[in-house]
Amino acid sequence: MKMTFRWYGETDPVKLEYIRQIPGMYGIVSAIYDVPVGEVWPLESLHKLKARIEGVGLKFEVVESVPVHEDIKLGKPTRDRLIANYQQNIRNCAAVGVKVICYNFMPVFDWTRTELAKELPDGSTTLSFDAAAIEKLDISKGISLPGWDSSYQADQLRALLDEYAAVGEEQLWANLEYFLKAIIPIAEEVGVKMAMHPDDPPRPIFGLPRIVKNRDDLARLVKIVDSPANGITLCSGSLGADLCNNIESLVREFGGMGRIHFGHLRNVAVEADGSFFEAPHLSCTGSLDMARILRAYHEIGFEGYVRPDHGRMIWGETGKPGYGLYDRALGAVYLNGLWEAITKFVPANTEQKDAA
């Protein structure tokens, strides 16, 4: 298991040199953030990013993410040009040694939360999702939620939502199939593994179609193009926000077939109505048992990339909610500690042998 840490470049308040000091850290997950969605990332920018990361002694082998333009998701006539640009981005990433590209196919937004600084009993703050608050929103009057992409003006957002009104789940699946059949051959050609991130949270929101929510959706995804290059970012926090999703089982099934290329390791505390907040990584603090999840990764012989995903804001740290240094560092060390104990003292495939 290769532990990585997301870094947003030189504008990130978390210093690269501090990330290097986290024990057991293998590499950095990053991207090119100053190029508009749908355009080609310059090779020069990628080489510069790689040199900066490797200059502190870390690897740059995972990109998160190369965003998918909304016109591709909507299946508009402009998609072929945008897909050609996406193909070139895959080639350019491969040219600097990137092995995995994480991306998603969520309409309009990436992730949805109703609060960025929910205060926990210990005084730390965390990202949270209030299902009742979402249900009460009237999207006809516009939407204002924390963490939303500020690049959309209110009228642009309404127009985009209107376009999606004509796109159901099956049409979105068809548009995804068109996209995957165009990019996976390129990924195979250059040795890159594409890793789809699931919907966050894993349910329809505001009438928008959501198609990567559960086990059956993941199975359908990997069958569209039956290739090891067509894989998954298994995000425990995203999928775990629906307690019907058994994360350990998903790890065994899709990791066992070699389709998990990136693991996001995050704990969530989930309520009966679907509300949740992002808990510390420690198993006893949330609804997910991280020790059992890592044991499942061990059982299938996972040697890929993981990261501690989001964290709380603790010890007075300010900055991008969910992406502070301190709690993610604690999470990384905790997860590496679990992994060391599991690999030293738990034989591989123990539960599978017991079941037999």
Burial of residue 6 (CB within 10 Å: 0-12, 13-18, 19+) is buried
Q: What is the pLDDT of residue 141?
A: 62
Q: What is the pLDDT of residue 350?
A: 44
User: Using one digit for the tens of pLDDT, what is the confidence trace for 244-276?
Assistant: 999 999 999 999 999 999 999 999 999 999 999
> 114 in a domain, yes or no?
no
Q: How many CB atoms lie within 10 A of CB 110?
A: 14
Q: Which of 26, 71, 130, 235 is catalytic?
A: 235
Share of the chain residues as helix, strand and coil, in percent rounded to the nearest 5: 40, 15, 40
> 131 in a domain, yes or no?
no
Tell me, yes or no, if 155 is annotated catalytic.
Answer: no
> 261 in a domain, yes or no?
yes
Listed in order, strand segments (DSSP E) in the chain are: 2-6, 27-30, 59-64, 100-104, 115-119, 125-129, 193-197, 230-235, 260-264, 267-270, 276-279, 305-307
Tell me which of 1-5, 222-226, 333-337, 346-350 is least confident: 346-350
How many structural domains compose the chain? Answer: 1
> 188 in a domain, yes or no?
yes
> 241 in a domain, yes or no?
yes
Mean pLDDT value across the chain: 92
> 115 in a domain, yes or no?
no
- Collapsing DSSP to helix, strand or coil, 65 comes out as coil
Residue with tokens 């350990």: 248
> 154 in a domain, yes or no?
no
User: Using one digit for the tens of pLDDT, what is the confidence trace for 135-154?
Assistant: 887 666 666 665 555 556 66
User: Bridge-partner residues for 34, per DSSP?
Assistant: none
Q: Would the pLDDT of 320 be above 60? A: yes
Tell me, yes or no, if 309 is annotated catalytic.
Answer: yes
> 182 in a domain, yes or no?
yes
Q: Which of 71, 323, 327, 334 is catalytic?
A: 323
Q: Which of 69, 197, 281, 298 is catalytic?
A: 197
Tell me, yes or no, if 69 is annotated catalytic.
Answer: no
Q: What is the pLDDT of residue 68?
A: 97
**Residue range of the domain that includes 46:** 2-106+168-355
Q: What is the pLDDT of residue 162?
A: 86
Q: What is the CATH number of the domain that holds 198?
A: 3.20.20.150
Tell me which of 38-47, 139-148, 193-202 is least confident: 139-148
Tell me, yes or no, if 310 is annotated catalytic.
Answer: yes
- Residues 328/7, Cβ–Cβ less than 8 Å: no
